[in-house]
Chain A
């Protein structure tokens, strides 16, 4: 269980996060959405204990601000928005770094499985700097997956924290990555993902949390959160909201005419 109670944070004088409280249960995929500067990344940083924040963030009952890095590393893996790797580490070495940080240090075969899951099988020996932007993003996802390979350990669920996991991916790979996140949650793990794409979020997430100016403006199922007035106010543009029979609500931004 991930519990946030009255999380607030400041960057300089500016309040970037204000009294955010929410709970995510294992088995759930929560998408955190909002306009640029709404506080999505700040919220994730607070969840990860990277940011001095007031309030409480607890993961599996442990306060993240006080937990040892090694303890947290066995419970959750983090996919950053972008990461630059120094020196000539290979893709295989980077994935192994993730695996060795978690509970799977003794299972080298996890590396190959994780790479296979993101469609990069057989690329272990490539210098990670030589990959394309999308490949690198998936490579780092494989590293995060290898760190928390099994969604549930005997004692507790594991978690994936994804910061814009599909930002630099093409349509097909967006779906591939979202399906991975979905199946991780379906298998009993917890997933928290910062998402820009509302349609993808509505398609895959159990619940969406919508931030406006550092506050939690709405949280609930995609149908509950995808409200015309809320979204139009947040993004400052007109929106046509539709409902697909299978995948729930979807929207189209309208052109200026």
Chain B
């Protein structure tokens, strides 16, 4: 399964690298890798436009999918998704705060964090949203699904309103930044952007597999997890941190892309079960595949224009979410 997903990712990557307006085909890719090199123009198209976009797509997809697995494990519920429960909205607010008010920070701070300011602020926003959500929806033994979803709605509304206020405060240049960011796409991908977001994403993706066994035991409830040797407090802290970091970084560089964290784990659980040990790495792979393909479709379906990728993932993901709700209704809870 993992191997198949890796193969799928490779295929999707080649497909993504070789499609686009510049007419750079599979043969050119071969030449670029093993031949004497490309023309300067093709060089730029491949290495400065398509490759960073592909890498960013993979990183964002993997981050969102793994973040979904972590939130679901934490809330013991397959309906948790960073977009649905308001974590993305919190991260978005953090990002907007950084864009609009970042200039007020001491110059020393700005100089140290540099381009990572927006991803860091988004991670912080996502972290606070997750903490609030967990406080509201979970009481020791069980998660109240209705409370979780309602709290998500409230958090998203609050973050949206605050974002609106900040838009009024923004000056022209910031407004342009905001608009580009809010469109939620991989269009402006650069190596710099990737480098700014990658540390947070990498931290989350490296921590997540280590939480797999603990998340398995948490499926039996906090008390049982503790009886089976899991340090539940540490587990929860790490899961919340990683989910927020991954979501925050993804939202910061790509805007709101929903439902990846919902659909990917759902498909994998259907295919081979609930064990988090294979689930986490496979979710990273499938999330990357899904986002690379979604990006490919979003930039070719209405070419030369681009469909925001968030629209595409919602088109696929929202019906899946509704279907999952329907299934729960059929099961009687």
Q: When the two chains form their complex, are residues B227 and A48 in contact, meaning their CB atoms are under 8 A apart?
A: yes
Q: Which residues of B are found within 8 Å of A48, using beta-carbon distances?
A: 227
Is the interface on chain A under 10, 10 to 19, 20 to 34, or 35 or more residues? 20 to 34
Residue on B with the closest CB to A129?
B331
Q: When the two chains form their complex, are residues B221 and A83 in contact, meaning their CB atoms are under 8 A apart?
A: yes
**Which chain B residues (201-239) contact chain A, with CB distance < 8 Å?**
213, 216-217, 219-221, 223-224, 226-232
Q: Which residues of B are found within 8 Å of A147, using beta-carbon distances?
A: 228
**Which chain B residues (249-284) contact chain A, with CB distance < 8 Å?**
269, 273-275
CB distance from B20 to the nearest CB of A (A): 40
Known contacts: A68-B231, A70-B231, A73-B227. The answer to whether A97 contacts B274 by CB under 8 A is: no
Q: Which residue of B226, B228, B230, B275 has the most chain A CB atoms within 10 A of its CB atom?
A: B228
CB distance from B157 to the nearest CB of A (A): 28
Q: When the two chains form their complex, are residues A86 and B76 in contact, meaning their CB atoms are under 8 A apart?
A: yes
Q: When the two chains form their complex, are residues A50 and B226 in contact, meaning their CB atoms are under 8 A apart?
A: yes
A93 at the interface (CB under 8 A from B): yes
Q: Which residue of A77, A86, A88, A147 has the most chain B CB atoms within 10 A of its CB atom?
A: A86
Known contacts: A50-B223, A83-B224, A84-B142. The answer to whether A74 contacts B273 by CB under 8 A is: no
Interface of B is mostly: loop
Q: When the two chains form their complex, are residues B220 and A69 in contact, meaning their CB atoms are under 8 A apart?
A: no
Q: When the two chains form their complex, are residues A93 and B229 in contact, meaning their CB atoms are under 8 A apart?
A: no
Per the bound structure, the CA–CA distance linking A69 and B214 in Å amounts to 12
| Selected contact of A87 from candidates B142, B213, B232, B274, CB within 8 Å | B274
Chain A 61-78, CB-CB to B under 8 Å as 1, else 0, gives 000000011101110011
CB distance from B303 to the nearest CB of A (A): 40
Q: When the two chains form their complex, are residues A101 and B274 in contact, meaning their CB atoms are under 8 A apart?
A: no
B300 at the interface (CB under 8 A from A): no
CB distance from B138 to the nearest CB of A (A): 12
CB distance from A136 to the nearest CB of B (A): 11
B78 at the interface (CB under 8 A from A): yes
Per the bound structure, the CA–CA distance linking A83 and B213 in Å amounts to 18
Q: Which residues of A are found within 8 Å of B232, using beta-carbon distances?
A: 69
Q: When the two chains form their complex, are residues B231 and A87 in contact, meaning their CB atoms are under 8 A apart?
A: no
Q: Which residues of B are found within 8 Å of A86, using beta-carbon distances?
A: 76-78, 219-220
Q: Which residues of B are found within 8 Å of A70, using beta-carbon distances?
A: 229, 231
CB distance from B140 to the nearest CB of A (A): 10
Per the bound structure, the CA–CA distance linking A127 and B228 in Å amounts to 20
Known contacts: A48-B227, A69-B230, A78-B227. The answer to whether A101 contacts B142 by CB under 8 A is: no
Per the bound structure, the CA–CA distance linking A191 and B220 in Å amounts to 22
Q: When the two chains form their complex, are residues A100 and B213 in contact, meaning their CB atoms are under 8 A apart?
A: yes
Count of B interface residues, CB-CB < 8 Å: 24
Per the bound structure, the CA–CA distance linking A63 and B217 in Å amounts to 24
Q: Which residues of A are found within 8 Å of B72, using beta-carbon distances?
A: 87
Q: Which residues of B are found within 8 Å of A78, using beta-carbon distances?
A: 223-224, 227
Q: Which residues of B are found within 8 Å of A98, using beta-carbon distances?
A: 228
Residue on A with the closest CB to B265?
A87
Q: When the two chains form their complex, are residues A89 and B219 in contact, meaning their CB atoms are under 8 A apart?
A: yes
Per the bound structure, the CA–CA distance linking A94 and B72 in Å amounts to 18
Chain A 168-207, CB-CB to B under 8 Å as 1, else 0, gives 0000000000000000000000000000000000000000
Per the bound structure, the CA–CA distance linking A89 and B219 in Å amounts to 9
Residue on A with the closest CB to B229?
A73
Residue on A with the closest CB to B279?
A87
| Selected contact of A69 from candidates B78, B142, B231, CB within 8 Å | B231
| Selected contact of A93 from candidates B226, B231, B275, CB within 8 Å | B275
Per the bound structure, the CA–CA distance linking A100 and B226 in Å amounts to 13
| Selected contact of B274 from candidates A50, A72, A74, A89, CB within 8 Å | A89
Q: Which residues of A are found within 8 Å of B217, using beta-carbon distances?
A: 97, 101
Residue on B with the closest CB to A89?
B274
A85 at the interface (CB under 8 A from B): yes
A238 at the interface (CB under 8 A from B): no
Per the bound structure, the CA–CA distance linking A85 and B223 in Å amounts to 12
Q: When the two chains form their complex, are residues B220 and A94 in contact, meaning their CB atoms are under 8 A apart?
A: yes
A80 at the interface (CB under 8 A from B): yes
Known contacts: A69-B230, A74-B229, A98-B228. The answer to whether A88 contacts B274 by CB under 8 A is: yes
Q: When the two chains form their complex, are residues A101 and B228 in contact, meaning their CB atoms are under 8 A apart?
A: yes
Q: When the two chains form their complex, are residues B76 and A93 in contact, meaning their CB atoms are under 8 A apart?
A: no
Q: Which residues of B are found within 8 Å of A21, using beta-carbon distances?
A: none
19 example contacts (A-B, Cβ-Cβ < 8 A) are as follows A69-B227, A69-B232, A72-B227, A73-B228, A77-B227, A80-B224, A83-B224, A84-B142, A84-B221, A85-B219, A86-B78, A86-B219, A87-B219, A87-B274, A89-B275, A93-B275, A97-B217, A97-B228, A100-B213
Q: What 17 new A-B contacts, CB under 8 Å, besides A78-B224, A83-B220, A87-B76?
A: A69-B228, A78-B223, A80-B223, A84-B142, A87-B72, A87-B274, A88-B274, A89-B273, A89-B274, A89-B275, A93-B274, A93-B275, A97-B217, A97-B220, A101-B217, A101-B228, A101-B229
